[in-house]
Amino acid sequence: MIILEKVPLSVAIITQNEENNLRDCLQSIAFARQIVVVDSGSLDATLPIAAEFGCEIYKEAWSGFGPQKQLAIDKCREPWILVLDADERIPRETAAAIKRIATSDGIPEAGFSFPRKNYFQGRWIRHAGWWPDRITRLFRKGAGRMTAASVHEAVEVAGTICALNVPLEHFTESNLSKVLQKIDRYSTLGAEEAFREGRRSSVSAALLRAFFTFLQDYVLRGGALDGMPGLTLAVTDAVNKFFKYAKLSELSRTNRGGR
């Protein structure tokens, strides 16, 4: 029987119906001493899988991506914290780098960023801003926290951040029916956040934003070089942009009508 040495690292993960992703994610971080899973109502095998890997499981009502991940961070105990999504993986070379950081004394940095390899429909997407897609995910306990954004949240670190050259891997949703569901959800969250910030829009402005988003992704930023997956991503990004700002316009009209 092989006993895996655990390192002083906590991993914070949020879940909701992630049975198709979670096992591979947890296998890639089996070296972490603590894995925290904050679940918001999974109805599939997500929780049994988390229990199988010895995760600490907490059930919390959904509060938005940023606040939800912060709930997971607040439950972490180890000196170093890694924030991970269920559809992300830690490759072997990245695991080795994280282990060195977590077990070394006197590291001056407060946090570390990684380039992220995004895969869509079986292809590593290298253009249209999808690579290197650098993100900060590893930080010293007490030095980092999530932004409060309900969508497009990020880790903020108080102190020096070192840019590592080893990647995270992200296997983004490739099923188009589920992609459309995500677009509906994310565009709603984005519209609500923009409305709270006092921003306004119109349907015609939404259409223009969608057109320029497609032009930027597919032509100016080289999405065409990623083949059919690149075309699909450029279209879905444009559709998401249209519905975000069309929904913002709808919120503006509804608000005026309610006064």
pLDDT at 150: 80
Q: How many folded domains does the chain comprise?
A: 2
pLDDT at 137: 98
The answer on 253 and 190 residing in a single domain is: yes
On whether both 160 and 203 belong to a single domain, the answer is: no
| Cα-based distances in Å from 224 to 153, 167, 219, 229 | 28, 23, 6, 9
Residue 34 is assigned to a structural domain of this protein: yes
Residues 19 and 87 in one domain: yes
Same domain membership, residue 156 and residue 210: no
Q: Do residue 85 and residue 213 come from a single domain?
A: no
pLDDT for position 73: 98
Q: Which domain holds residue 181?
A: 176-258
Q: Residue 72: helix, strand or coil by DSSP?
A: helix
pLDDT at 258: 45
1 part of a folded domain: no
pLDDT for res 23: 98
Residue 141, classified by CB atoms within 10 Å of its CB into exposed (0-12), middle (13-18) or buried (19+), is middle
Claim to verify: residue 186 and residue 162 sit in the same structural domain? no
Task: Give the domain-ending residue among 171, 188, 209.
Answer: 171
Pick the last residue of a domain from 156, 171, 186: 171
pLDDT at 3: 58
pLDDT at 1: 42
pLDDT, residue 2, reads 54
Tell me, yes or no, whether 57 and 134 share the same domain: yes
Of 143, 171, 199, the residue at which a domain comes to its end is: 171
Residue 136 lies in a domain: yes
Q: Do 98 and 225 sit in the same domain of this protein?
A: no
Q: Identify whether residues 162 and 187 lie together within a single domain.
A: no
- What is the predicted pLDDT for the residue at 40? 98
Whether residues 153 and 232 share a domain: the answer is no
Q: How far is CA 71 from CA 60, 67, 173, 193, 204, in A?
A: 9, 6, 24, 20, 39
Contact yes or no for 248/200 (Cβ under 8 A): yes
Q: Averaged in consecutive runs of 10 residues, what is the pLDDT profile of the chain (259 residues)?
A: 80 98 98 98 98 98 95 98 98 98 96 98 97 98 94 95 98 96 96 94 97 98 98 98 97 74
- Specify if 71 maps to a domain: yes
Which pLDDT score is estimated for 255? 85
**Is this structure's pTM higher than 0.85?**
yes
Residue 160 and residue 133 share a domain: yes
CA angle 119, 122, 123 (to 5 degrees): 60
pLDDT at 149: 86
Residue 177: phi and psi, rounded to 5, are -65, -40
CATH number assigned to the domain comprising residue 78? 3.90.550.10
Residues 83 and 160 occupy one common structural domain? yes
Q: What letter represents residue 151's amino acid?
A: V
